[in-house]
Amino acid sequence: MMSDARARSQKTYMLNMGPAHPAMHGVVRLVLELRGETIVDVDAEIGYLHRAFEKHAESETWNNVVPWTDRLNYVSPLINNVGYAMAVERLAGIEVPERGQYIRVIASEVSRVTDHLTCVGASAMELGSLTVFLYLIKARECLYQLVDNLTGARVTTAFTRVGGVKGDLPADFAGKFRAIAKEVRSAVAESDKLLTRNRIFMDRMEGTGALSSADAIAYGITGPFLRSTGVAYDVRRAHPYAVYDRLDFEIPVGATGDNYDRYLCRMAEIEQSLRLVEQCLSQIPEGKHSLEPKEIKHAYEIQDAGKAGDTALLAKYAAKVDRTLEGMGLEAAAGTRAAGRGVTLPPKERTYGSIEGLMNHFELVMWSWGVKIPPSESYFAVEGGNGELGFHLVSDGGDGPYRVRCRPPCLFPMAALKKLLVGGQIADVIPTFGSINMIAGELDR
């Protein structure tokens, strides 16, 4: 019979990590069963955030869903915007102009870099490297300012529209990006020197949170996590969309599928995304970046002139708008948005300058009017920051989706979390959970 001392040594105890915990990256509760500091069992509880994205989307018009997508993976919202809009366009059979497709790729890859910088920086900070966190978050701040310049917002971008994007690239976008890319590369190089061969960092990362390629595929895991196991699956290459089939980029892969390989994959992908944006800026079709005609008036002045009956003067003026509307004028519309009064909002000059344009705009944003898509359903996926981000949409012929289903890429690594953690030490929870890059807004059902 086992002695009392030995029996006590075999007992386990339960420990809550979360839902309010600085390393939980949101609101997730891990119930750990421990024997000493060894993890015997894990129960991951999600659903504390109650995002209800899918139900919110089903009560909106097609275009009004776009702001809700910002709140999925809020670290890379532009990819969410693009993925949803392209799913609607597949449903409606809409072809976006070439310039608009390039702008979508540029926005997506800038957003991917901000996602990876956040993940690597936060994971490093949680393992004690605050310096790396500060370097990478400073680089992210530069990119956020660029996103603000493009969309009028830093995080809640709502940049896409069914049929294109909100506006053209600002006139100075390319020059600003090249300067910022230099800053990002410098920050990544400094972080690489501080982390990649750092003995403390390597001891915490190598061999922890490992998963085989067969298990990763069985769980439905995609993105940097899957690629860290040696599987070179990337939606941009496997199922090219927008203009990715015209661009040259590599797919970084690992070998062991552990936390260290996931770190290396994300670091390598930052460079690939910067290369993609540079290629897009060199290939994008010619066209004015912003509306700067000789005679220009503020939008409210044009509106007031129309109300006063001075309609004869309206044709000679173009609308000057603030940054949230910049690039939405007549000259930018042809290259960035699909033609079609039943789908695409008219340029601001037409909205403010003619009753037909005003009615067109009004009908597209009115409840029970708007974009009408014939009854059908489709699934479309893009490569998100954490893997395959898909939207399954069902239309019943109305002005909004009948059913929306999102495939959140970070849900599947969370399903495998128990397999990643059991048998390890309690200290391994932090690097492993950090390498999953769980985003609560995307994960929550």
The enclosing domain of 202 has a CATH number of: 1.10.645.10
- 267 assigned to some structural domain: yes
| pLDDT, position 301 | 74
- 444 assigned to some structural domain: no
Torsions phi, psi of 223, nearest 5? Answer: 75, -160
| pLDDT, position 293 | 37
- 321 assigned to some structural domain: yes
pTM: 0.85
Question: Are residues 228 and 157 part of one domain?
Answer: yes
- 203 assigned to some structural domain: yes
Report how far residue 248's alpha carbon sits from residue 246's, in angstroms, rounded to the nearest whole number.
7
Written as six digits, the tokens of 206 are 């190598």
- On the CB side of 260, CA atoms within 13 Å amount to 16
- 26 assigned to some structural domain: yes
Written as six digits, the tokens of 310 are 């001075």
The total number of structural domains in the chain stands at 3
Question: Are residues 243 and 143 part of one domain?
Answer: yes
Residue after which a domain boundary falls, among 365, 385, 400: 365
Residues 6 or more apart whose Cβ sits within 8 Å of residue 273 = 109, 110, 112, 113, 116
Confirm if 136 and 187 have CB atoms less than 8 A apart. yes
- 379 assigned to some structural domain: no
Instruction: List the domain range (segments joined by +) for residue 8.
Output: 4-45
Residue after which a domain boundary falls, among 339, 365, 391: 365
226-246: pLDDT as tens digits: 999 999 999 999 999 999 999
Determine which helix (DSSP H) or strand (DSSP E) holds 320, and give its type and residue range: strand 318-320
- On the CB side of 117, CA atoms within 13 Å amount to 32
| pLDDT, position 318 | 62
Mean pLDDT, the chain, rounded, equals 88
Question: Are residues 205 and 269 part of one domain?
Answer: yes
| pLDDT, position 290 | 27
Low-confidence ranges of the chain (pLDDT < 70): 1-9, 286-300, 311-334, 341, 367-368, 445
Question: Are residues 269 and 231 part of one domain?
Answer: yes
Which residue do the tokens 């003619």 mark? 354
- 372 assigned to some structural domain: no
Residues 6 or more apart whose Cβ sits within 8 Å of residue 313 = 305
